Amino acid sequence: MPTHPASNQVAATRMSCNVYKAAVEGKMDILQRMEHLDDELTPNKNTVLHIHIRGGMARKECVIAMVHKCPSLLQKTNNKDETPLHMAAREGLTEIVKALVDQVKALHADDADLESGIKLAVREMVGMTNEEGETALHEAVRYRRLNAVKLLIGEDPEFEYCSNNAGETPLYMAVKRGFDEFVDEILKTCRSPAHYEGPNGLTALHQAIICSDAEGEVGRNILEKMPDLATKTDDNGWTPLHYAAYFGKVSQAEALLIRDVTAAYIADKVGKTPLHIAASRNHVQIMEKLISYCPDCSEVVDKRGCNVLHLAVQTRGRKAMELILKNSWGSNLINDKDVDGNTPLHMFASSLSFVPTLMLSHPRVDKMAVNNKGLTAADILSSNTQAPLLKGLIRLVLKIYDPTPARPSVTNDHGDDHDRGAKDRVSEIKKASKTHLIVAALIATVAYAAGFTLPGGYKGEKGAHRGMAVLANKATFIAFYITDGMAMLLSTVAVVIHFFMTLHEDHEQLYRMFKLASYSTLFGMGAMLAAFAMAACAVLFNHSGAFLTLAALILSLNFSLFYLVYPLLAKQVVNIARRERQLAKKTSLR
């Protein structure tokens, strides 16, 4: 190979211009004059046969003539290890694919053992892989060339197509891409389990469950062809039934159970069965199917000793919890303990799931059960800061069954630190409340004054209407009085809430009251601006067009004010919430 004298780098191969054009256009009169046709290579090591095929306009007679001229072109690869067959399959040139295969057969027609020699030669070419580890069949599937797929798999039905570098077989690729017609065609000739393999231990059946629709005809066809795949696990220990449970595909789950009910008992690497997965995802129909085929699968626990009810409570699966607790097979699980000694009720107290009545009123539940730390559900509940109203209801019900007082803290033994953190949060909220109270009181004062200092004044002449508002019959005046009344009402509500905030010390209650007062003040401010707009229209305009113009202007200004003020208020509320969380975190770390 020639080298550059200065840099000692290997010179790139190149194909002469006239040869390249002849290869593209299939001009055999020029190519026939070449002595070593296989030496003509582009920088990417493409031969004249590669060049002729890759444009998608290849002619069968030209391909045959090139191979007759130089048979080694059939298996010559470029720098991506692609053969001409790869390119023909990718372009969907079925006639060219057939011509290439036929030429291989013709080259080995004189072998001693004619049939086996031809078969091995075809298998060798069909099985050649590129740098991605893909055969021509991989390329045909990837680019959705159905006729090429039919031709390739029809040439050697016994051939075991290997996985590419990504771990995907042609069948797996077809399933993953939803090419159902390709799957059906491959299944007709697929006779080796190797066809079903995929990456990370997945099989084509796993992928069919993941990608197919609710009916899952592709999955059923694969299952019919290879029933052993029903219990095949991936690298995480999941069977196809685990995936059906995860995605809630009922008909496919039933098909798997009909094929092999033992799949319901197979646990993954952390000990979870398909029933555990279905409960965690709140897929009640899958749970019902699993129980109908395997009633005792509910007894299986994971590696942490959690049963299906533990997991339903932990993930707040309301429907799953209801199904378990309303059936005899599930009610026996209600007092089971995990490795830490926690019953589902302990988990319920820590997560505050949403079916307290059903959980707490169940006749089998032991409300005084203790875990390995000697804590009851009431003890755990006392340290839970979530949903105070729901927590209060649950604590009340628990006290009926367990009158002993709950311990002051489960996770924090430093009572002083906890009290100090709560006081800091209360102080922060009350400080912000003082500023908001001034604004709310100012709006209430202005709205009150405007209610008696009416636009247009009062009627002074003697008679039945003396002392009445001059503009009382105008629609804009009525609108003014309504919006002014709303401003006064909302701001007064905010003032009252701020007043009662001085009587509370619970930071959660204060935070809720602060938010309500803040929004009342904001909407009161908007109502006051609307009242000003209506008063101006009532006094200044009689013509409806002018009124509408001014109203539109005032409303635009109103919306602009809301656009500016609302984010500031929301930001203040968010900042207070953030400071609460930070103080709570510091307190827990102490």
How confident is the model at residue 572, as a pLDDT?
55
pLDDT: is 368 or 428 the higher one? 368
Separation of alpha carbons 129 and 105, rounded Å: 20
Q: pLDDT tens for residues 141-192?
A: 999 999 999 999 988 888 888 899 999 999 999 999 999 999 999 988 766 6
Residue 471 has pLDDT above 80, yes or no: no
How confident is the model at residue 212, as a pLDDT?
78
Identify the three-state secondary structure at position 469.
strand
The percent of residues above 70 in pLDDT, for the chain, comes to 73
Token pair 């890759």: residue: 54
Neighbours of 438 (CB within 10 A): 11
pLDDT: is 411 or 213 the higher one? 213
Q: Residue 226: name the closest of 253, 259, 273, 185 by CA.
A: 259
Q: pLDDT tens for residues 523-574?
A: 888 778 777 777 777 777 665 445 555 555 555 555 555 545 555 555 555 5
- Average pLDDT over all residues of the chain: 79
Class of domain 417-589: mainly alpha
- Give backbone dihedrals phi and psi of 400, rounded to 5 degrees, phi first: -65, -35
How confident is the model at residue 6, as a pLDDT?
46
How confident is the model at residue 517, as a pLDDT?
83
CA-based torsion, 459, 460, 465, 467: positive or negative = positive
CA atoms within 13 A on the CB side of 141: 28
Length of the chain: 590
How confident is the model at residue 588, as a pLDDT?
47
Burial of 241 (0-12, 13-18, 19+ CB in 10 A): buried
Identify the three-state secondary structure at position 349.
helix
Q: Any bridge partners for residue 3, and if so which?
A: 10
390-411 burial code (b ≥16 CB/10 A, e <16): ebeebbebbeeebeeebeeebe
Separation of alpha carbons 579 and 182, rounded Å: 59
Separation of alpha carbons 26 and 452, rounded Å: 98
Q: Any bridge partners for residue 555, and if so which?
A: none
CA-based torsion, 456, 459, 464, 468: positive or negative = positive
Separation of alpha carbons 395 and 238, rounded Å: 40
Instruction: Domain 11-162: give its CATH code.
Output: 1.25.40.20
* pLDDT confidence band for 423 (50 / 70 / 90): low
- In 294-414, where does DSSP find H-type helix? 308-314, 318-325, 328-331, 344-351, 356-360, 377-382, 388-401
Separation of alpha carbons 20 and 27, rounded Å: 10
Most confident of 12-16, 28-32, 261-265: 261-265
Residue 372 has pLDDT above 80, yes or no: yes
**Residue 162 is encoded by which pair of tokens?**
């290997």
Spans of all domains in the chain: 11-162, 417-589
Residue 384 has pLDDT above 70, yes or no: no
Q: pLDDT tens for residues 180-234?
A: 999 999 988 766 656 788 999 999 999 999 987 767 788 888 998 888 999 999 9
Separation of alpha carbons 434 and 284, rounded Å: 51
* pLDDT confidence band for 44 (50 / 70 / 90): very high
Q: pLDDT tens for residues 261-310?
A: 999 999 999 999 999 999 999 999 999 999 999 999 999 999 999 999 99
Q: Residue 308: name the closest of 283, 280, 348 by CA.
A: 280
* pLDDT confidence band for 583 (50 / 70 / 90): low
Token pair 């305009």: residue: 541
How confident is the model at residue 276, as a pLDDT?
96
Q: Residue 380: name the closest of 425, 330, 340 by CA.
A: 340
**Residue 445 is encoded by which pair of tokens?**
């004062």
pLDDT: is 405 or 146 the higher one? 146
Task: Average the pLDDT over each of 26-30, 90-94, 501-505 and give the range with the smallest value.
Answer: 501-505
Rg (C-alpha) for the chain, rounded Å, is 40
CB neighbour list of residue 167: distance below 8 Å, 6 or more residues apart: 197, 198, 199, 200
Asked if 11-162 and 417-589 have one fold, the answer is no
End-to-end CA distance of the chain: 74
